[in-house]
Every structure is written in structure tokens, then in C-alpha cells.
Amino acid sequence: MPNRFDRPNIIPWPPLIYGTAIAAGFALQWLFPLPWFESGATRIITAAVGLCLACMAIALDISALILFRRRQTTILPNRGAEALVTEGPFAKSRNPIYLGNTMLTFGLGLLLATPWLLLAAPLAAFVTARLAIAREEAHLAAKFPREWQRYAAATPRWIWKI
């Protein structure tokens, strides 16, 4: 395991986890199709909600990327942080990118009527929390001890306290 001061992980888990979750969701729907029970106007509304979720997720991810660039720190989850970003979406969630990835996965499930994606979204969030977030938080706590302590006490991990 890497030194927590250097970098949180050797493997960039989150993009691998969410990419696998989305690919597996589509593959499972193709191999073992789960039924989608709505049609007509209800289907249009569900697809619209899914599209809104996906667009919000992409906007959240882009805004986080812009902040990371402004603060001259890496967005790569297997690289060491050069700055602790606490503004913008990070003021409401310690993990807005992972929240966005979860929203995107769920939104695609609604938009494309793919129930396996609805199941994959929370599973990917759970696995990300176990393989990435705990190590990232240890890295940030070691690198920015006082700032991290204040930030972590004031800001929920996702959008609620866990």
C-alpha cells in the first residue's frame, strides 16, 4: 500500500468501478433482461428525470474538474493531492465526483430503461467508499491535518452524514 502522504491508492479505483458498473449493467440487461413496467407518458417522465440526473451529474463532475485545475491539484484518484479543495460542490459533499458518477449511473438506468443500472449505482457507490474514499480521506488527513479535520467535521461524505 502506498504511503498515505504520497498518494491514496496505486490503482485508480473509482473510474474502474463506475465504468465496470455501467458496462455490467448493460451486459446484464442484455443477457438477463429485467422488465421495465412503464409506458406512454410515465415512460417519458421517467426518461426525462433520468436525463436531468445525467446532465446534473456531468455538470457536477465538470465543475469539480474546473476547481481541481484552478487549485492546481490532480483529479486522478491514484495521485497525491497538492491542495484541499473545499469550495463549490465540495462545500456540500466531500465526494461530489463520486456522487456525480452514482447519479450518472442511476440517471442512465432511468433514461434508457435499464433496471440493472439502477442496482449497479448504489453498489458502485458502496465499493467506491470501501476501496477509494477511506484511503483518500486518510491521505488528505495526513497531508492537510488541521484543514481536513475542520472540513470533514463540517461537510458530509456524500450528501448526508454516513
CA atoms within 13 A on the CB side of 139: 22
Report pLDDT for 87.
95
Each residue's pLDDT, cut to its tens digit, for the chain (162 residues) gives 555 567 788 888 999 999 999 999 999 999 999 988 888 889 999 999 999 999 999 999 999 999 999 999 999 888 999 999 999 999 999 999 999 999 999 999 999 999 999 999 999 999 999 999 999 999 999 999 999 999 999 999 988 654
Q: DSSP letters along 67-97, please?
A: HHHHTT----TTS--SS---SGGGGT-S-HH
**Distance between CA atoms of 83 and 72, rounded to whole angstroms?**
7
Angle, nearest 10°, between helix axes 96-111 and 40-70?
160
